[in-house]
Structure 1
Amino acid sequence: MSTIENKIGTVFLPVSNIEESRDWYCRLLGIQRKGDIQFGHLYVIELEGVNLVLDQKIFQKTGPLQAPIFHLNAVDIEKAYNELRESNVEVTTTIQHGHWFNFKDPDGNEIMVCQC
């Protein structure tokens, strides 16, 4: 038996500007900012399930993510798609198979939205 649990606790996302990214993701997700920027380069966004940690320190080492390493859930994929396009977010795919699409955050990280 392993002492490592079979669940993901958080996902780290490289960002170039921690303050701007914090504000952008909070607006995107419709949540209030909670807590402070930690150690000058980390901001934890508490989500249902897995947390998202924005990390300015790792941005220059890795650059933007070219493929999504996580997806955000949406109840209505068409509404989510239209909201992002109307908000001038760079949407990089059309809705695929009526189920998902990708977009880029301000740093060029590729993020997926999936209808749950």
Structure 2
Amino acid sequence: MINKIGKITIYVNNQEEGKEFWVNKMKFVVKLEQPMGPNMKWLEVGPSKEAFTSFIIYEKNAMLAQNPQANVLHPNIILSTTDIKETYNEMKANGVEVSEIMNMPYGSMFKFKDQDGNDYLVREDK
């Protein structure tokens, strides 16, 4: 059966702007980038080359052209860190829009937004 989560698609307005956000502000790396046709490309980013799970950065309009019923509006993604304060400070210094750190009984976390205003969470896993 299934033993890992492989890829998660994030729908963006502009693939190059999405790439710039994840690579330059979030310090992810491009794991794969190749043409998919005349006006499209497959773009995968991840926290490192070795990380198994990656994000596929895909343009909303391209997906809607293929599947008009696709939900391209809101990712529900929680990223993990072992040091919430260091991650928070680094993301804020990189110009990422972040909320305040929330300390909950089940862990500390904060929200952040990407270049299109999509919401994500970062949670500290110890």
Same topology, TM > 0.5? yes
Q: Alignment length, in residue pairs?
A: 110
Instruction: Answer with 34-43 or 106-115: which moved more.
Output: 34-43
The amino acid that maps onto 2:90 is E
In the aligned structure 2, how far is the partner of 1:59 from the partner of 1:108?
19
TM-superposed deviation, 1:82: 1.7
1:53 aligns with 2:50: no
- Cα displacement string for residues 65-115 of structure 1 (whole angstroms, at most 9, x for unaligned residues): 1xx522222221112112222222111x31111611110000111111111
Look up the match of 1:84.
91
1:108 aligns with 2:117: yes
Q: Contact (CA 8 Å) 1:14, 1:59: kept in 2 or not?
A: no
- Residues 35, 77 of structure 1: alpha-carbon distance in 2 compared, 3 angstrom cutoff: same
TM-superposed deviation, 1:15: 0.7
- Cα displacement string for residues 22-50 of structure 1 (whole angstroms, at most 9, x for unaligned residues): 12201234244343244214311245232
Give TM-score scaled by structure 2 length: 0.70
In the aligned structure 2, how far is the partner of 1:23 from the partner of 1:115?
25
Q: Which has the higher strand share?
A: 2
How large is the Cα RMSD of the aligned pairs?
A: 2.5
Which runs of 5 or more residues in structure 1 are unaligned? Answer: none
1:19 aligns with 2:16: yes
Which runs of 5 or more residues in structure 2 are unaligned? Answer: none
In the aligned structure 2, how far is the partner of 1:42 from the partner of 1:59?
16
